[in-house]
Amino acid sequence: MPLLEVRNMTHFFGGLRAVYNYNVTIEPGQIRGLIGPNGAGKSTVFNLITGIYTPTEGDILLEGQPIQGLRPDQISSRGLGRTFQNLRLWRHMTVLEHVMLARYSKLDYGLVGAFFGTAKRNREEARTRQIAMDLLKMMGIADQADQVVTNLPYGTQRRVELARALATAPRLLLLDEPTAGMNPGEALQMMEIIRQVHRELGLAIFLIEHRMKVVMDLCEIIQTLNFGEVIAEGTPEEIRNHPEVIDAYLGK
Ligand code: ADP
Ligand code: MG
């Protein structure tokens, strides 16, 4: 069974048709890309899949179960993690607190606190801390666990965001322009981290990305969106040589 299946999804914002008859199938462990010009509808596709908006039409199935109409937190707790195009971090929290809080809140550990004694609660907290620290190690920022995020460079903040998205052990991770605003060095480091996350955690990744090197190097299959419609889908090689993609996006 596919991990995610989106069928004939259309979305209007008032009179604006942002996404039209969109289809995608993501298999477990697959790494896929979504590219296209600004305003093509890429972020809207992610916002529809993750429950920020409910599609005007179409079906979204996560492991065979319909998820359209569910709240974002419900979809997240079913195994779908994401990051946003613009950073959404808490200014006064530390790196470690971000990742631990994500795990607590999404996995509803409030219940653990309510029903079990102190010993169990302490064990859960130690385990959560361990998982969070392991993720920070994978991001290469474990030594900054106790820093407040606002004091950190932008590239590091984006790694915090990625660690937070991974804290609930999603089976599918949606990354919306993870290298946006980065300098070339930071972007290459982020690409290697994504590669490592994919290899070591074995989850599926769906990636919106502007940097062609990053998409072409990482993704097995790439879709190109233009005016809300898929105009091409294929391997990096096929996409690179696709006349319509070159016209709409890659340039001559
Ligand atoms: P991309 O991520 O490919 O740059 P978006 O999905 O952000 O594109 O936007 C697609 C289109 O939908 C754009 O024309 C954008 O202005 C419009 N749009 C996105 N979000 C909203 C919204 N919440 N309300 C109205 N229009 C929106
Ligand atoms: Mg976008």
One domain, residues 160 and 88: yes
One domain, residues 98 and 160: yes
Total domain count, the chain:
2
Q: Which of 69-78, 193-202, 205-214, 242-251 has the lowest mean pLDDT?
A: 242-251
One domain, residues 86 and 144: yes
One domain, residues 209 and 146: no
The H or E element containing residue 202 is none
One domain, residues 61 and 85: no
Ligand 1 atom at shortest distance from the alpha carbon of 176: 2
pLDDT computed for residue 248 by the predictor: 83
One domain, residues 247 and 220: yes
One domain, residues 33 and 12: yes
Ligand 1 atom at shortest distance from the alpha carbon of 37: 3
pLDDT computed for residue 103 by the predictor: 85
Look up the domain containing 126 and give its range: 80-169
**Cα(first)–Cα(last) distance of the chain, in Å?**
39
pLDDT computed for residue 114 by the predictor: 59
Question: Residue range 59-63: average pLDDT?
Answer: 98
Protein residues within 5 Å, CB atom, of ion ligand 2: 42-43, 85
Domain end (from 148, 169, 190): 169
One domain, residues 112 and 150: yes
Contacts of 214 (CB under 8 A, 6+ apart): 179, 187, 190, 191, 207
pLDDT computed for residue 120 by the predictor: 77
Domain end (from 120, 151, 169): 169
Residue 172's alpha-carbon distances to 22, 139, 208, 227, 249, in angstroms, are: 19, 18, 14, 26, 27
The pLDDT tens digits of the residues spanning 181-238 come to: 899 999 999 999 999 999 999 999 999 999 999 999 999 999 999 999 999 999 999 9
Q: Is the pLDDT of residue 111 over 60?
A: no
One domain, residues 60 and 183: yes
| CATH number of the domain to which 143 belongs | 3.40.50.300
* CB-defined site of ligand 1, < 6 Å: 13, 16, 18, 36, 38-44
pTM here is 0.93
